[in-house]
Structure 1
Amino acid sequence: MEEPPPPPPPPPAFIVRVFDPEKDSHAAEAVEHACEDGPSGKTSLSTDLLGDPLCRVRNSPAFLMLVAETTSPTRLVVGLIRGCVKTATCGKKAHRDAPIFTKLAYVLGLRVSPAHRRMGVGLQLVLRMEEWFRSNGAEYSYMATEKDNEASLRLFTSRCGYREFRTPSILVNPVHPHRRLPASPRGASLLRLPVRDAEALYRRRLSTVEFFPRDIDAVLKNPLSLGTFLAVAAPGYVWPGPDKFLSDPPESWAVVSVWNSAAVFKLELRGAATWKKRLAKVSRLADRILPFLKLPSVPDLFHPFGFYFLYGFGGEGKRAADLVKALCGHAHNLAKDGGCRLVAAEVAASEPLRSGIPHWKRLSCAEDLWCVKRLAEEYSDGEVGDWTKAPPGPSIFVDPREI
């Protein structure tokens, strides 16, 4: 009688501990690269964190990175996770137009080595991170993922209690070799706002938008923030200061800020077919030779590249969307001067100014997926109730520190 096959070996034991930059950086980078290698013949997006595994969270008010390490037979880092905590808007008071703030945590960068998946590593990393969130007073936790990432959704929604919450759009536009002039719409002006004035404008116009960070001043003062720009439908407009501007606003205006993501990490598209690479190269060559034609050339995404991120979209008036388009053109020029190949933004699906944001559908994502979880039921419901059950508003504020 044939003997039954031996039982599979037990999964290696592992511990979850705080990331140590001095001894874990190379191991964490190896896990990142192992998770970015897509299936054979498929394109995948590789991320180079420029030698700093904490770069995507270190600009947040409070942050932590954890690693999972096997204890038998040898010590080996097989998983990692990052998280940060801030205070952000979750709604507004019913009796007056004032924001309701909450302590909000964000999970990003969960990675588990392919050889150690389905062993509970990811679950334990998330649970340990949530313990740290609670110890820092966070009432809610959220994460972002692709809608077709079944493994991530299964972990967070089925096992960790998250629920699908918002579906913003990631809008990406290439930076062409030819220079796109700011070319504000006829009869309009484009200005750069002082940081203090930009803060005042945001607090008085966008502070009730979901996910608006209470420390917006820290965001705007960060060296990675390249400036806040205002477009006004009035020629030769002189900035009067935030008080006069808001008490007697122009007929149409728009505002946006620019964040230098290229200084934080680089991206690279891998696995593309050779003919696609050649076609993209030909389009860029033609654009350089005939710049006056302003051909829609395909940028070189097959080598490490950086991008600028646009955030803080706001505005009013009939021409607001056209003014946003002019601001995006100005950001394109900044990105070109900065050696970047893409300009990106993330906005709510119902964002009123979305029509003014130029983008290529092939490079963009129509529906990103944000999932949220209430960490502690004992918190007071307050005026907003349970935010996880609240209907979406027309806009969201995407914090550039969490990109």
Structure 2
Amino acid sequence: MADEGVMAVVMIREYDAKTDRERVEQVESSCEVGPNGELSLYTDLLGDPICRVRNSPAYLMLVAEMVVNGTLEIVGMIRGCIKTVTCGTKYSRPKSGDPPKPLPVFTKLAYILGLRVSPFHRRMGIGLKLVKRMEEWFGDNGAEYSYIATDDANVASVGLFTGKCGYSKFRSPSVLVHPVFAHRLPISNRVTILKLTPFDAESIYRHRFSTTEFFPRDIDSVLNNHLNLGTFMAVPRGYIWGGADKFLSGPPDNWAIMSVWNCKDVFKLEVKGASKLRKGFAKTTRILDRVFPFLRLPSLPKIFSPFGLHMLYGLGGSGSLYTKFAKDLFGLAHNIAKECKCGVVATEVSSEDPLKLAIPHWKVLSFTDLWCIKRLGEDYSDGSVGDWRKSQPGLSIFVDPREF
């Protein structure tokens, strides 16, 4: 352990996949992340640690080095990416007799994720140095805001960003997590579920959700990414699909849409700290579910060893039965995850979104996220017009799966 009485020299530089990968994985494996330290990122399986941000338009990974016992060691790292998203809504000037049309207001937004500092080198200012250097890169590349997502119970992380880095608490969405059972979930016969082409999916998302907070302007890149497993729409049984244009000109009374992102090929998770009794109980539920699938017993997958995740995003729709249709889409997503041998499916919704109550999830696995935001460059702390930090949360948010 480093001597805290000695001022250590910390060097920050860009990550080099050829020389740093193994040492970065060692630091990450020593750090617990997630809600209450129980849901931990497992990184020693899937290749380059920078892959979690590589799908973003602009990205960077930095490492912190210092001399420990005469050897130069990596003691921390941070990832960051930049994209353009919706931060508000304005209205066009209508022609005579036409209603105003809502239009998205875009901003260049930076996102910090994967901040890690070795447990043996904390409280030495290393995390702060990494954040400051990353923010310099954000500013050099034109980002107007920076934000992070953390667990509200993570006192150290919240204190670093809100206390030392100038971030303020912004949004508190809910991460809804559901285990993948050994049996399939039923889907109601009231709906037909369609798999949309990326082109049709993009058209619908841009038309219906482009003014939703955090909607990525490059949604086409997300939908055409190899990690996107498809976009699905639930419509009333008997509805005849004629393409996105026909749908948008006259949608059915009830419909719901959802896309599925394959996080399994990017990272894996592992629940740590469980007793032998709890592990034994979980194994028993799997055995019973596998032997008696017709009983549809709730079972806990192998989450005490590395497991994969599918992320559901773009959840939305319309109509009085919208949440019921969304639940059917969730059933489809669960069944896709079962075929792909994933451990859980997850989605993230606004705290005000009715989907928070409609989407099946296990409370023991789910948690409340905390998003903190900072204005880069000129400070508009007086709350003047155009300061996103002062805006009120909307009914929903558009979660970018590349950042999960």
Query: Please, what TM-score do these two structures have when normalized by structure 1?
Result: 0.93
When residues 383 and 202 of structure 1 are mapped into structure 2, their CA distance, relative to the original with a 3 A threshold, is farther
Runs of 4+ in 1 over 4 A off after TM superposition: 381-384
Q: Percent same amino acid at aligned positions?
A: 57
Deviations 1:309-349 (A, max 9, x none): 00001100011001000000000110000010111000101
2:349·2:397 contact (CA, 8 Å) conserved in 1? yes
Match of 1:117 in 2: 122
- SS of the equivalent of 2:311 reads strand
Q: Which of 177, 188, 193 is equivalent to 1:184?
A: 188
Match of 1:175 in 2: 180
Matches within 5 A, 1:201-350: 201-233=204-236, 235-350=237-352
Match of 1:4 in 2: none
Match of 1:45 in 2: 40
Cα distance, 1:184 vs. partner?
2.9
CA–CA distance in structure 1, aligned partners of residues 338 and 88 of structure 2? 37
Match of 1:90 in 2: 87
1:94·1:383 contact (CA, 8 Å) conserved in 2? no
* Paired letter, 2:115: L
2:286·2:299 contact (CA, 8 Å) conserved in 1? yes
- SS of the equivalent of 1:86 reads strand
Match of 1:3 in 2: none
Cα distance, 1:268 vs. partner?
1.2
Match of 2:203 in 1: 200
The RMSD of aligned alpha carbons is 2.0
Gaps of 5+ in 1: 1-6
2:198·2:224 contact (CA, 8 Å) conserved in 1? yes
- SS of the equivalent of 2:56 reads coil
* Paired letter, 1:141: S
- SS of the equivalent of 1:369 reads strand
CA–CA distance in structure 2, aligned partners of residues 150 and 8 of structure 1? 21
1:100·1:384 contact (CA, 8 Å) conserved in 2? no
1:301·1:341 contact (CA, 8 Å) conserved in 2? yes
Match of 2:16 in 1: 20
Match of 2:165 in 1: 160
* Paired letter, 2:42: T
Cα distance, 1:262 vs. partner?
0.4
Deviations 1:193-250 (A, max 9, x none): 11100000000000001100000000000000000000012x2322112222111110
CA–CA distance in structure 2, aligned partners of residues 397 and 43 of structure 1? 26
CA–CA distance in structure 2, aligned partners of residues 253 and 378 of structure 1? 42
Deviations 1:160-184 (A, max 9, x none): 0000000000001111101224x23
CA–CA distance in structure 1, aligned partners of residues 38 and 331 of structure 2? 29
CA–CA distance in structure 2, aligned partners of residues 150 and 94 of structure 1? 40
Cα distance, 1:351 vs. partner?
1.1
Q: Which of 135, 157, 177 is equivalent to 1:130?
A: 135
Q: Which moved more, 1:238-247 or 1:342-351?
A: 238-247
2:146·2:373 contact (CA, 8 Å) conserved in 1? yes
Q: Which moved more, 1:317-326 or 1:345-354?
A: 345-354
2:86·2:210 contact (CA, 8 Å) conserved in 1? yes
CA–CA distance in structure 1, aligned partners of residues 385 and 55 of structure 2? 28
1:33 aligns with 2:37: no
Deviations 1:238-285 (A, max 9, x none): 211222211111010000000001011111112200000001111111
CA–CA distance in structure 1, aligned partners of residues 174 and 375 of structure 2? 24
2:337·2:344 contact (CA, 8 Å) conserved in 1? yes
When residues 237 and 277 of structure 1 are mapped into structure 2, their CA distance, relative to the original with a 3 A threshold, is same
2:174·2:356 contact (CA, 8 Å) conserved in 1? no
* Paired letter, 1:285: I
When residues 124 and 258 of structure 1 are mapped into structure 2, their CA distance, relative to the original with a 3 A threshold, is same
Gaps of 5+ in 2: 93-100
Cα distance, 1:114 vs. partner?
1.2
Deviations 1:114-160 (A, max 9, x none): 11111111001000000000011000000000001010011100100
- SS of the equivalent of 1:398 reads coil
- SS of the equivalent of 2:142 reads coil
2:4·2:124 contact (CA, 8 Å) conserved in 1? no
Q: Which moved more, 1:45-54 or 1:62-71?
A: 45-54
CA–CA distance in structure 2, aligned partners of residues 148 and 378 of structure 1? 28
* Paired letter, 2:122: R
Match of 1:368 in 2: 369
In the alignment of these two chains, the number of paired residues is: 389
2:62·2:79 contact (CA, 8 Å) conserved in 1? yes
